[in-house]
Structure 1
Amino acid sequence: MSKLLRITYCALFLVLLSGVARAAEPAGLTIVNTLAANGGEAYSLNVQSLLVITALAFLPGLILLMTSFTRIIIVLSILRQALGLQTTPPNMVLAALALALSVFVMRGVIQQEQQQALQPYLAGDITFSQAVAAAEPPERAFMLAQTRKEPLHLFVDLSGKTYQDPQHIPFTVLVPAFATSELETAFQIGFLMYIPFVLIDLAVASILMSLGMIMVSPTLISLPLKLLMFVSIHGWVLVLGTLANSFK
């Protein structure tokens, strides 16, 4: 799993830095020069290196926005609230589970990027620009397949440009459209998943009210019932399986 995660980060790193590399590479501007006193050797820091170092701070968040992680973590968080559990499972467990499922969902994209871009680049067969160009199509195809028309049209209109083919849409437009679509899909799945637990809460509250037990909190009775129902129907298997199949 750790090797697959490293491959994921390396492959997506090539895609995320495409705009940075393309913008900075032609210029080749040098912003820092230092002349050694004895040998006269010059050390320079160009714009491309500076932008790459700066991009590293935003890399984890950008990677998560370009994968299935957003939808999965939101649905799992809604599930925890629907069960009535505040801190169980912990946030770290949910994030780790969402990350593992994201790697599983995107294994096809990761394999394509590894074969087409990462391995040739590490072997020295292609340049960085060629590796970026080879890594873009699998990631772009994944995001376009999951992006809804309304968010995509919205951000295309906000960009003020027109594109004849979705394949020509830049990542600066595609990434926010994809993230917005993931939010919509996650909330739809969460709403449908929330309904059975709400019905249990309403049933327990009605029964307690009819018995005159108005001082007893409905949560005290409904929580074990919801946990019993969730475990008896293998809820985690159903939820994770539904999330994985939703990307197909």
Structure 2
Amino acid sequence: MKKFLLILFTASALIIFADNAFAQQQQQTTIPLPKIGIDVGSSDSPKDISVTLQLLLLLTVLSLAPSIMIMTTSFLRLIIVFQFLKNAMGTQQMPPNQLLAGMALFITLFIMAPTWNKVNDEALKPYMDGKITMDSAYNKGINPIREFMFKNVRDEDLELFVSLSNMPKPNSRNDLPTYVLIPAFVISELRAGFIIGFFLFIPFLVVDMVVSSVLMSMGMMMLPPMLVSLPFKVLLFVLVDGWNLIVGSLVRSFNV
């Protein structure tokens, strides 16, 4: 019994000493982490307040970035056409919506590259170098985007929102507010996407009608026509190099 207690006491002492040594070693090798916090207090410098407001404005813009990208770029027309194409072919989950959205995103980057390069050269770089103020950077940065929207918006849609805003008729495009231009551009893009989607439906609708007529003439009414026509629609799309035609036509449809 005494031997057992002696062994137990020795083992406990070794465990305690080893734990203390490991704790000391871990304490010595601990990497200090920075503490980040946001405090609300008084400031004697107007510059500190200005920097804080700029940071809050930047966070707000970043949170709205997806909506801004959808509503002011070519993304809207692209994703509408791709969804119409998917519905016209009748392929339930192929291609996936994530793939269509990713393809629309990168084609948007390709189409908008000249516009965003202007924004970077005329507004972002001078502002980051401290050569211009935030107000000047905003005015210079929004101009290329406004120019892109003006090139692709319909005059009828602009007139609609000008009349709905009860504002006097602007003498030039520079007098037209951006909050009037964006919704006009959005419905113009919706109209263009729906028109292209209508023409995409026609060849696939013809295939469906031909397959249905053949099945009815053969007395195979229990066989779903959509199931039979799907391979023929996929084959037709591949033979005419459909992705090349559609993406090429979409890119050329924008005035950049």
Question: Is TM > 0.5 for Structure 1 vs Structure 2?
Answer: yes
Distance in structure 2 (CA, Å) of the matches to 1:203 and 1:174: 45
Q: Deviations over 1:5-30 (max 9, x none)?
A: xxxxxxxxxxxxxxxxxxxxxxxxxx
* 1:106 alignment partner, one of 103, 112, 121: 112
Query: Which residues of 2 match residues 156-171 of structure 1 at below 5 A?
Result: 156-162=162-168, 163-171=170-178
- What SS does structure 2 have at the residue aligned with 1:106? helix
Distance in structure 2 (CA, Å) of the matches to 1:168 and 1:186: 28
* 2:135 alignment partner, one of 114, 129, 133: 129
Answer yes or no: is 1:82 the counterpart of 2:82: no
- What SS does structure 1 have at the residue aligned with 2:223? coil
Contact 1:33 1:44 in 2 (8 A): no
Distance in structure 2 (CA, Å) of the matches to 1:200 and 1:171: 45
- What SS does structure 1 have at the residue aligned with 2:221? coil
Distance in structure 2 (CA, Å) of the matches to 1:161 and 1:49: 33
Q: Deviations over 1:163-204 (max 9, x none)?
A: 111222111110111011000000001101110000000000
Deviation at 1:150, TM superposition (A): 1.7
Distance in structure 2 (CA, Å) of the matches to 1:232 and 1:225: 10
Match for 1:230: what amino acid? F
Query: Which residues of 2 match residues 42-191 of structure 1 at below 5 A?
Result: 50=56, 52-162=58-168, 163-191=170-198
Relative distance call for 1:217 and 1:235 in structure 2 (3 A) is same
Query: Share of identical aligned residues, percent?
Result: 41
Residue equivalent to 1:238: 245
Structure 1's consecutive aligned runs of 4 or more residues displaced over 4 angstroms after TM superposition are 40-52
Deviation at 1:55, TM superposition (A): 4.1
Distance in structure 2 (CA, Å) of the matches to 1:135 and 1:47: 19
Contact 1:140 1:167 in 2 (8 A): no
Q: Deviations over 1:95-141 (max 9, x none)?
A: 11001101111111111111111111122221211111111221111
* 2:208 alignment partner, one of 195, 201, 210: 201
TM-score of the superposition, structure 2-length normalised?
Answer: 0.78
Q: Deviations over 1:50-104 (max 9, x none)?
A: 5554443322112211000000000001001111012111111111100110111
Structure 1 stretches lacking a partner, 5+ long: 1-31
Deviation at 1:44, TM superposition (A): 5.7
For these two proteins, the number of residue pairs brought into alignment is 214
Relative distance call for 1:175 and 1:205 in structure 2 (3 A) is same
User: Please, which moves more after superposition, 199-208 or 48-57?
Assistant: 48-57
Q: Deviations over 1:183-239 (max 9, x none)?
A: 000000110111000000000001101111100000111000000010111100101
Structure 1 or 2: more strand by fraction: 1
Query: Which residues of 2 match residues 192-231 of structure 1 at below 5 A?
Result: 192-231=199-238
Alpha carbon RMSD of aligned pairs, Å? 2.2
Contact 1:35 1:41 in 2 (8 A): no
Distance in structure 1 (CA, Å) of the matches to 2:41 and 2:175: 41
TM-score of the superposition, structure 1-length normalised?
Answer: 0.80
Deviation at 1:47, TM superposition (A): 6.2
Residue equivalent to 2:17: none
